[in-house]
């Protein structure tokens, strides 16, 4: 008996996970990826002894990956190993305060009291509420399709609805945090979690207060060898299960006949399949792969998420005051988000994120040096003069870090590579370089995000950061599970 065939368009983390699950379900699976390596936004830059993870740098909820290996009957330790990190992030403020966000809530609470006078009970209560909300509400929103009636008639929905407090829906995340903390530093730290799905904390709903649970309660981790080893391990697992990767194969069209997806067209050749999963940005899928202009425009009714401007710097110096994850906050945080979302411009005092994997293991940078992944939030804007924007923002970043670290960084930058929103769009087909498709800048954002299927085309499904449940490694992996649950039922 011939196996049913599935084609996955796009070899991002959600596409690879979908391919693994479909293979375990008995499908013959092919993944079409336009780049020469799979991984989507996760790839490696190597230059002069420095290694840079080009894309996502935060690793949480490894259980999502462990589940894939368990499902495939393979020991994960043969493919991927990782260690927990005691400090989720080190936060730097212009007033000279430096806060370690320990992944032990009690230690974090003590740190906040000692450094800025925040009542430790506020931290403990907030994180416990985040845990309860995640367990009762988050698990519904993140693990099941919100667009199928079966989700809403299950008994678990009653417990979830009881856990939804009005402030989660009626307050913005900033308003929610102002009510829960008595220091501006605590408010700013917890406002920052809105950026985890490319949103504005002054517009996004208080429900996003559950996000810190993943990092501060469940823990932060570091994969040995860097983030690149996550897609590398998953590709190896997929191939072990019989998945075929067609790298360097750009898909021109998803083929539809009688409202049924029947395959794809690549390099002028048709490839038949029983079902198709698009792991490509959903706007791009409608506009370019389905030639459905109306469907594409409907998606653009929802505000795009933010993007990123990233500098990869090889620094010929070691900074003992820095950790794996570091944030240098803007002193005018609300103004920064007004610039990003209202004016579609960079702010001249950007919040800066620095990831340094050489803090965790040797081999990521030459001896006595560090590999800096330096990111600022970028607006989803069109027609930008990127050489000019890069030069201007680089000046802001260097000046801010020089002031806050007390150095002249230009003396130490030995290697430099740059990734702009335009570069992100070119590599991943994410419209305007938006990292998460649409933002969550409304109380209904979770429901407005595109479903993992379409009722207008049978056999067509969607996985990845631009559809339900959202962007980031954990949610992309969850989208793969939702897709395969829909296919299996």
Same domain, 251 and 198: no
Same domain, 120 and 215: yes
Q: Which of 226, 257, 284 is the last residue of a domain?
A: 226
Q: Considering the domain boundaries, does residue 265 fall inside one?
A: yes
Same domain, 157 and 220: yes
How many structural domains is the chain composed of? 2
Same domain, 267 and 205: no
Same domain, 200 and 151: yes
Q: Considering the domain boundaries, does residue 408 fall inside one?
A: no
Residue 414: both structure tokens together: 């030995």
Predicted confidence (pLDDT) at residue 152 exceeds the cutoff of 70: no
Same domain, 143 and 122: yes
Same domain, 27 and 137: no
Same domain, 146 and 218: yes
| Chain mean position to CA 220 | 14
Q: Considering the domain boundaries, does residue 397 fall inside one?
A: no
- Helix ranges (H only) for 332-472 are 333-337, 386-405, 421-428, 445-448
The CATH number assigned to the domain holding 238 equals 3.50.50.60
Q: Residue for token digits 């296919």?
A: 487
100-115 confidence digits (pLDDT tens): 999 999 999 999 999 9
Q: In whole angstroms, how far apart are CA 200 and each of 72, 120, 324, 436?
A: 39, 26, 25, 13
Burial class of 67 by CB neighbour count within 10 A (0 to 12, 13 to 18, 19+): middle
Q: Considering the domain boundaries, does residue 331 fall inside one?
A: no
Q: Considering the domain boundaries, does residue 325 fall inside one?
A: no
Q: Which of 226, 252, 278 is the last residue of a domain?
A: 226
- Helix ranges (H only) for 411-470 are 421-428, 445-448
Predicted confidence (pLDDT) at residue 34 exceeds the cutoff of 60: yes
327's enclosing H/E stretch is: strand 325-328
Beta bridge partners of 30: 7, 244
Question: Under DSSP, is residue 165 helix (H, G, I), strand (E, B) or coil?
Answer: coil
Mean pLDDT, the chain, as a whole number? 93
Domain that holds residue 476: 5-42+227-301+441-488
Long-range CB pairs of 109-118, under 8 A, 24+ apart, other chains included: 112/183, 112/185, 112/186, 115/185, 116/183, 116/185, 116/186, 117/182, 117/183, 118/181, 118/182, 118/183, 118/185, 118/186
Residue 441 binned pLDDT confidence (cut-offs 50, 70, 90): confident
CA dihedral over 187, 189, 193, 194, signed as positive or negative: positive
325-373 confidence digits (pLDDT tens): 999 999 999 999 999 999 999 999 999 999 999 999 999 999 999 999 9
The more confidently predicted of residues 255 and 447 is 255
Q: Considering the domain boundaries, does residue 148 fall inside one?
A: yes
Pair 159, 191: CB distance under 8 Å: no
Q: 239, 292, 221: which is closest to 57 by C-alpha? A: 221
130-144 confidence digits (pLDDT tens): 998 888 776 777 766
What share of the chain has pLDDT > 70, as a percent?
92
State in Å, rounded, how far the first CA of the chain is from the last one.
21
Residues whose CB is less than 8 angstroms from the CB of residue 17 and which lie 6 or more positions away in sequence, other chains included: 68, 234, 463, 476, 477, 480, 481
Same domain, 151 and 211: yes
Residues shown for the chain: 489
Alpha-carbon gap, residue 371 to 121, rounded angstroms: 37
Residues whose CB is less than 8 angstroms from the CB of residue 307 and which lie 6 or more positions away in sequence, other chains included: 198, 377, 378, 379, 380, 421, 424, 432, 433, 434, 435
Q: Which of 179, 197, 226 is the last residue of a domain?
A: 226
How many CB atoms neighbour CB 298 within 10 A? 13
Section 191-207 average pLDDT: 94
Phi-psi region of 99 (alpha: psi -120 to 50; beta: other; left: phi over 0): beta
39-63 confidence digits (pLDDT tens): 999 999 999 999 999 999 999 999 9
Q: Considering the domain boundaries, does residue 420 fall inside one?
A: no
Alpha-carbon gap, residue 374 to 326, rounded angstroms: 10
Q: Are strands 325-328 and 307-315 parallel, antiparallel or unpaired?
A: unpaired
Burial class of 71 by CB neighbour count within 10 A (0 to 12, 13 to 18, 19+): middle
Same domain, 185 and 275: no
Burial class of 427 by CB neighbour count within 10 A (0 to 12, 13 to 18, 19+): middle
* pLDDT at res. 154: 55
Alpha-carbon gap, residue 208 to 440, rounded angstroms: 9
Q: Considering the domain boundaries, does residue 426 fall inside one?
A: no
Same domain, 184 and 272: no
Pair 329, 354: CB distance under 8 Å: no
Same domain, 174 and 245: no
State the pTM of this model.
Answer: 0.94
Burial class of 72 by CB neighbour count within 10 A (0 to 12, 13 to 18, 19+): middle
Q: 230, 287, 254: which is closest to 32 by C-alpha? A: 254
């Amino acid at each position: 008996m011939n196996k049913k065939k599935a084609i996955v368009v796009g070899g991002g983390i959600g596409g690879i996970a979908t391919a693994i699950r479909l293979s375990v379900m008995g499908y013959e699976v092919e993944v079409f990826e336009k780049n020469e390596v799979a991984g989507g936004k996760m790839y490696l830059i190597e230059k002069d002894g420095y290694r840079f993870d080009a894309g996502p740098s935060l690793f949480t909820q490894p259980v999502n990956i462990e589940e894939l290996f368990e499902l495939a009957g393979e020991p994960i330790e043969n493919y991927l190993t990782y260690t927990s990190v005691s400090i989720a992030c080190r936060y730097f403020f212009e007033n000279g305060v430096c806060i370690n966000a320990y992944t032990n809530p009690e230690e974090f609470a003590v740190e906040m009291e000692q450094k800025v006078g925040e009542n430790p009970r506020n931290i403990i209560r907030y994180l416990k509420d985040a845990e309860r909300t995640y367990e009762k509400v988050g698990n519904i929103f993140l693990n099941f399709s919100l667009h199928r009636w079966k989700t809403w008639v299950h008994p678990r929905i009653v417990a979830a609805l009881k856990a939804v407090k009005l402030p989660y829906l009626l307050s913005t995340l900033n308003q929610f945090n102002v009510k829960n903390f008595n220091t501006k530093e605590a408010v700013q730290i917890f406002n920052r979690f809105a950026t985890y799905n490319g949103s504005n904390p002054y517009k996004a709903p208080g429900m996003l207060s559950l996000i810190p649970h993943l990092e501060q309660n469940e823990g932060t981790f570091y994969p040995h060898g860097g983030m690149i080893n996550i897609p590398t391990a998953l590709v190896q697992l997929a191939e072990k299960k019989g998945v075929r990767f067609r790298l360097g194969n750009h898909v021109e069209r998803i083929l539809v006949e009688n409202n049924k997806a029947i395959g794809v067209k690549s390099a002028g050749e048709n490839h038949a399949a029983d079902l198709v999963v698009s792991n490509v940005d959903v706007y791009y899928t409608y506009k370019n792969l389905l030639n459905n202009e109306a469907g594409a425009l409907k998606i653009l009714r929802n505000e795009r998420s933010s993007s990123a401007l990233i500098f990869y710097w090889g620094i010929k110096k070691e900074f003992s005051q820095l950790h794996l994850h570091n944030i240098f906050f803007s002193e005018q945080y609300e103004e920064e988000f007004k610039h990003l979302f209202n004016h579609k411009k960079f702010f001249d005092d950007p919040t800066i994120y620095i990831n340094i994997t050489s803090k965790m293991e040797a081999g990521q940078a030459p001896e006595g040096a560090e590999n800096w992944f330096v990111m600022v939030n970028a607006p989803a804007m069109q027609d930008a003069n990127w050489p000019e924007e890069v030069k201007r923002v680089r000046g802001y970043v260097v000046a801010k870090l020089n002031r806050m670290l007390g150095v002249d960084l230009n003396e130490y930058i030995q290697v430099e590579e740059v990734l702009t929103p335009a570069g992100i769009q070119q590599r991943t087909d994410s419209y305007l370089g938006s990292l998460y498709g649409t933002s969550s800048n409304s109380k209904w954002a979770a429901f407005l995000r595109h479903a993992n299927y379409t009722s207008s085309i049978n056999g067509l499904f969607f996985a990845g950061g631009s559809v339900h449940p959202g962007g980031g490694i954990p949610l992309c992996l969850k989208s793969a599970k939702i897709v395969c649950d829909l296919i299996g039922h």
